[in-house]
Each structure stands twice: as C-alpha cells, then as structure tokens.
Amino acid sequence: MLQAGVVTTADAVRRRLGLGRLLPLGGAADGAWLTEQAADTVLRRAADGAPGVVLGRLRLGLADPDSTARPAVPAPPSALPPGPLRIEADFAASAVVPLPAAAAALRAALFTAAVDLLGLEVSEVDLRVTELLDSAPEAPAPAPPPGVRAGVRAVTASDPAGTAASGAPGVAHLTAALGAAVHLAPDHVRVEVATAGGYHPLDVVRSVREAVTTALADGRPVAVLVTSVPA
C-alpha cells in the first residue's frame, strides 16, 4: 500500500504528459522554457476575445526543426531547442462574423498573446475551421485558478537556490513538475517557477537567474522552467 503523498512513476508520467511540450522562451541566450500547458492557458484566454469563434485543439511546436539554436544552458529533459515556433489551432466559426475576418482576428489574438504576453518567438499561426455554427458561440467558462492544473503545484525549497528563486520579483511560487523545484547538476542549475500576475515571464526568468546566480556564486549557469502563467 502506498503512503499518502507518495508519487508513483505512473503519477509522474501523467503529470509530465499534462505539461505538454517544453517550449523555448525568449532566445538561445535566455536559457528558459515554458510548458505548453501554461502557454495554452494564456492563448485560450486571448482567443476568447476573437468574435464569432470557438477555439478547439491548440498545439505549439517548432516551425522549422532545422533552424534551431543551441541553448546557453543545458535544456530540461525533452525540451525543444530555441527556434521559431508554429501555432496550430482548430476552431469553430459562426455566421455572426465573416469567416475571413474571424480567422484574421483569431490569428492576431494568438500571435499577439504568444509574443507580447509570453515572450515566445512565433513565426507561423496555422488555423483550420472544423465546424460552422448556426448561432453565436456561448461565453467561455472561467479558467481554473492557477495551481490546479496537472503538474503545477506550489512547493517550497529551503536550499540557497530555492530561497533566492522564491524571493525573485514576479515569482508566485516554485513548482516541481519535473521532480524537484531546484535541480542541482555539476554543470548547471535548473529552477521551476510559476509567475505572478502583472509580470512578464521573461522578466521573471531574468530575475530568477540573477538571484540564483548571486546566491550560489559558483559560476554555474541557471536554466529556468516556467510552468504556470496567470491568464
């Protein structure tokens, strides 16, 4: 019988799969990644503002796997290398708004949110209409509060790196989606964080890197994985 609080291998796998792909955040020099799940939350909220459409399947991946760069720090397991991304989305459209206008509004909303709100480098937004609606779509249900999604749970870390990261501007709390909030390797450090409202993810990443680098003072480069961003 498993003790309460024990995480099984199956639990860990399900939690990891729930995060989706680990997307390069910023450029190669930033040494940062964002979970696809976190991006999905923000992009869907942005799509809610596009008139006459209902967003369906949403996927992010590399636009050109042959045009990627080597990150400045070792990447998290199975993370995508830095490079331009493609957003692929299915949507249902109503007759309230002409289809070309609806698609243009949705494309603009997704692109703007990905670039301006998240800091992702996006070169393409591919849309596919999957359904034509007879009436205007209903208002979307409220998004679940941060912290309840798969793999996103608040944790504390008392080591110097964890303490420094927790106190960096824009950090809501540390997370442990990949097993530990702070991963200390001989050649680098990786920290997982959830960002607070009102902060740009890249600004938070840079604050975390500076705080951890100062706290450890051993020259190891710092990678940051953002697992949750307020929508």
pLDDT at 5: 45
- Contacts (Cβ under 8 Å, ≥6 apart) of 76: 22, 33, 178, 190, 223, 225
What is d(CA 230, CA 208) in angstroms, rounded to the nearest whole number?
Answer: 18
Q: pLDDT truncated to tens, each residue of the chain (231 aa)?
A: 334 344 444 344 445 557 899 999 999 999 999 999 999 999 999 999 999 999 999 999 999 999 999 999 999 999 999 999 999 999 999 888 899 999 999 999 999 999 999 999 999 999 999 998 876 666 555 555 444 444 466 777 779 999 999 999 999 999 999 989 999 999 999 999 999 999 999 999 999 999 999 999 999 999 999 999 997
Could you tell me the domains of the chain?
A: 36-133 (3.30.70.1350), 144-228 (3.30.70)
Q: Which candidate, 15, 95, 112, 6, places its Cα nearest to that of 51?
A: 95
pLDDT at 7: 45
Output the CA angle 208-164-157, nearest 5 degrees: 110
pLDDT at 121: 96
Helix axes 36-47 and 9-19, enclosed angle (nearest 10): 40
The pTM is what?
Answer: 0.86
Q: Which candidate, 25, 7, 174, places its Cα nearest to that of 85?
A: 25
pLDDT at 153: 67
pLDDT at 179: 87
pLDDT at 146: 44
pLDDT at 226: 98
Q: What are phi and psi of 30, to 5 degrees?
A: -75, -25
pLDDT at 155: 77
What is d(CA 175, CA 152) in angstroms, rounded to the nearest whole number?
Answer: 6
What is d(CA 122, CA 114) in angstroms, rounded to the nearest whole number?
Answer: 7
